[in-house]
Chain A
Amino acid sequence: MSNDIAIIGAGMHPWGKWGHNFVEYGVAAAREALADAGIPWRDVGFVSGGATVRCGYPGYVAGATFAQALGWQGCEVNTSYAACASGSQALAAARNKILAGACDVALVIGADTTPKGFLAPAGGYRPEDPDWVRFYLGITNPTYFALYARRRMDLYGDTLEDFAAVKVKNSLIGSKNPRARYRKCFTAEDVAASAMVADPLRLMDICATSDGGAALIICSADYARRIGKADAPRIAAISTVTPSFASAVVEMPDIATDSAAAAGIEAHSFRAALPVKAYEEAGIGPEDVDVAEVYDLSTALELDWIEDLQLAPRGEAAQLLRRGDTAVGGRIPVNPSGGLACFGEAVPAQALAQVCELTWQLRGECGDRQVAGARVGITANQGLFGHGSSVIIKR
């Protein structure tokens, strides 16, 4: 498709708990992406930032903050906030700007500095705030992940050993990723020995929060050709659809699902809907996918995503896992970066980090982590308040 937008540069600041200002991570990622693209900063006509809500005003206007840090040069800026999908929404804004002919080259950045400890809601008596209600009643974030995991066990026969195997798989491949925060190879015994948090999920089944920054340089097909990068990976689709009423899965921070009692209303799964639009837009199907980066907030959730992406029939993801299909070297490798298990979540950077990994995979530059012959990659993530995304890139 002549409308395809090229990804000519990718960069990441390593994930960790560094405690520095988020701008520093974003600038480091942007400079790496610019160097990777081999273009000057002054060529960038649009900076599209993923907002962070944890770092004060500069985080709310992240696009401008990064543009100023890199040196004002008169480009236009945008900031997107869409929870875990912020990076994808910033990417979509940049793609649309280029497709509209308003600029040739855009820089997309997300970075975050995460606080230590629990994120808790404001105090007082505030029953109108669903986040306050669920904490008051004793429902924390792991509760939701554990409900999804337990349902897999009862409906599909998934086991604790399956969930541990996801962690073992991701930690093995992530140990070879210099940008990952956790690079230790964990065994099933390590997982089983970690503390139970929300049955059936143990501490090592659940991802941490991290500092990190990721950036992409994207451009028109013309520009890519002019600088000799006509064969760069292309963005084939970006899906940022909302859920469809009635959402049948209880989602953080809600205490109840939608009701599907009205005539003409059916129950829907949000996660499953996200890639549907991406596949339609890309004009491909799940059988064309070579590699996937999915949002493994928990080990069990990676298995849900595999089915939501239609890489396995509903209920059969664990069979793929057990056969080694989802490991690098298998039929359909999932999370060759090591996933959130090895990175921890840096919200506004994470969706972009997924695309960075696929970019390097499709360029064949991942060394020990390389998925052989990868030509089509898909990402998937979901966050709060009806935000989620799925991006397809191809080469």
Chain B
Amino acid sequence: MNEKPQAPAIEGWFTMDDKPRLIGTQCCACGTYFFPKQQRYCKNPDCDSTDFREVQLSRTGRVWSYTNACYKPPAPFVAAEPFEPYTIAAVTLEEEQMTVLGQVVTGVNVSDLKVGMAMELVLEPLHETDDDIKMTWKWRPLAEQGEQH
């Protein structure tokens, strides 16, 4: 339906493949993860390292909480006309012990979600420009979902 090329909405924040991952950093001394990337100083109060490696974060996690946006946010958000409400989730990554916000894929509503649900990272369009389709990460419920916390 659309021949424009896809481009990341924010350059270097996630991979652009079928199994996308967020790109963060990890402190080489203490192991703390950072997203967005942190490469100059470690925020762990017990660590003064300035040595970081780029890492891809876990693709899956569990819902910490969720909501939606019923009103069009102000710029720099680029809204479709007419504005379509979208769902948002905060998802906790177990390995990284960190919670990451993001929109939830189109078609999934607040009533479909629950704290503790397993989610995976996918890419969807955020908005279009004249030249390309800006893609962003979104959370999607994992298909094989059990009642788990």
Residues of A within 8 A of B (CB): 118, 120-121, 123-124, 127, 130, 132-140, 142-143, 146-151, 154-155, 195-201, 244-246, 248, 250, 255-265, 267
User: Within B64-87, which residues are at the interface with A (CB < 8 Å)?
Assistant: 64-71, 73-77, 86
The reply to whether A261 and B73 contact each other, CB–CB distance below 8 Å, is no
Question: What count of chain B residues pass the 8 Å CB interface test?
Answer: 48
Q: Which residue of A lies closest to B69 (CB)?
A: A138
Q: B99 within 8 Å of A by Cβ?
A: yes
A140 and B101 CA atoms in complex are apart in Å by 12
Chain B positions within 8 Å of A257 at CB level: 98-100
The reply to whether A250 and B90 contact each other, CB–CB distance below 8 Å, is yes
The reply to whether B98 and A197 contact each other, CB–CB distance below 8 Å, is no
The reply to whether A259 and B97 contact each other, CB–CB distance below 8 Å, is yes
Chain B positions within 8 Å of A262 at CB level: 27, 30-32, 44, 46-47
Q: B52 within 8 Å of A by Cβ?
A: no
* Cβ contacts A to B, 27 pairs, < 8 Å: A123-B76, A127-B13, A130-B36, A136-B77, A137-B103, A138-B86, A139-B101, A143-B88, A147-B65, A154-B114, A196-B70, A199-B70, A246-B97, A255-B35, A255-B36, A256-B99, A256-B100, A258-B98, A259-B34, A260-B97, A261-B31, A261-B32, A261-B95, A262-B31, A262-B47, A265-B32, A267-B97
The reply to whether B47 and A138 contact each other, CB–CB distance below 8 Å, is no
A143 and B31 CA atoms in complex are apart in Å by 30
Chain B positions within 8 Å of A132 at CB level: 76
Q: B43 within 8 Å of A by Cβ?
A: yes
Chain A positions within 8 Å of B100 at CB level: 255-257
Interface string of B1-29 (1 = CB under 8 A from A): 00000000111010000000000000100
**Of B46, B68, B95, B115, which contacts A151 at CB under 8 A?**
B115
A259 and B103 CA atoms in complex are apart in Å by 20
Residues of B within 8 A of A (CB): 9-11, 13, 27, 30-36, 43-47, 64-71, 73-77, 86, 88, 90, 95-103, 110, 114-116, 126, 136
**Of A124, A135, A154, A245, which contacts B77 at CB under 8 A?**
A135
**Of A124, A137, A146, which contacts B67 at CB under 8 A?**
A146
**8 smallest beta-carbon distances between A and B, as pairs:** A146-B67, A154-B115, A259-B33, A120-B74, A151-B65, A260-B97, A147-B65, A259-B98
A261 and B24 CA atoms in complex are apart in Å by 14
A200 and B115 CA atoms in complex are apart in Å by 14
A197 and B68 CA atoms in complex are apart in Å by 8
**How near does chain A come to B20, taking the closest CB pair, in angstroms?**
15
**How near does chain B come to A383, taking the closest CB pair, in angstroms?**
19
The reply to whether B33 and A137 contact each other, CB–CB distance below 8 Å, is no
**Of A138, A199, A201, which contacts B103 at CB under 8 A?**
A138
The reply to whether A147 and B90 contact each other, CB–CB distance below 8 Å, is yes
A260 and B95 CA atoms in complex are apart in Å by 9
**Of A136, A200, A250, which contacts B9 at CB under 8 A?**
A136
**Of A134, A136, A259, which contacts B101 at CB under 8 A?**
A134
The reply to whether B115 and A250 contact each other, CB–CB distance below 8 Å, is no
**How near does chain A come to B49, taking the closest CB pair, in angstroms?**
10
**How near does chain B come to A249, taking the closest CB pair, in angstroms?**
8
Chain B positions within 8 Å of A244 at CB level: 45
- With A140-B73, A263-B31: A147-B67 Cβ-Cβ less than 8 Å: yes
The reply to whether B67 and A150 contact each other, CB–CB distance below 8 Å, is yes
Chain A positions within 8 Å of B74 at CB level: 118, 120, 135, 140
**How near does chain B come to A130, taking the closest CB pair, in angstroms?**
8
Chain B positions within 8 Å of A259 at CB level: 32-34, 96-98
Chain A positions within 8 Å of B31 at CB level: 261-263
The reply to whether B34 and A265 contact each other, CB–CB distance below 8 Å, is no
Q: Which residue of B lies closest to A264 (CB)?
A: B46
The reply to whether A135 and B73 contact each other, CB–CB distance below 8 Å, is yes
**How near does chain B come to A121, taking the closest CB pair, in angstroms?**
7
Chain B positions within 8 Å of A149 at CB level: 67
- With A250-B90, A261-B31: A245-B43 Cβ-Cβ less than 8 Å: yes
Q: Which residue of A lies closest to B103 (CB)?
A: A138
- With A261-B96, A261-B97: A137-B64 Cβ-Cβ less than 8 Å: no
**How near does chain A come to B97, taking the closest CB pair, in angstroms?**
4
The reply to whether B64 and A151 contact each other, CB–CB distance below 8 Å, is yes
A315 and B60 CA atoms in complex are apart in Å by 27
The reply to whether B65 and A127 contact each other, CB–CB distance below 8 Å, is no
The reply to whether A133 and B77 contact each other, CB–CB distance below 8 Å, is no
The reply to whether B44 and A137 contact each other, CB–CB distance below 8 Å, is no
The reply to whether B73 and A256 contact each other, CB–CB distance below 8 Å, is no
Chain A positions within 8 Å of B126 at CB level: 136-138
Most buried by A among B9, B66, B67, B86: B67
Q: Which residue of A lies closest to B47 (CB)?
A: A262
The reply to whether A250 and B32 contact each other, CB–CB distance below 8 Å, is no
A95 and B110 CA atoms in complex are apart in Å by 47
Q: Which residue of B lies closest to A146 (CB)?
A: B67
**Of B30, B46, B70, which contacts A198 at CB under 8 A?**
B70
**How near does chain A come to B74, taking the closest CB pair, in angstroms?**
4
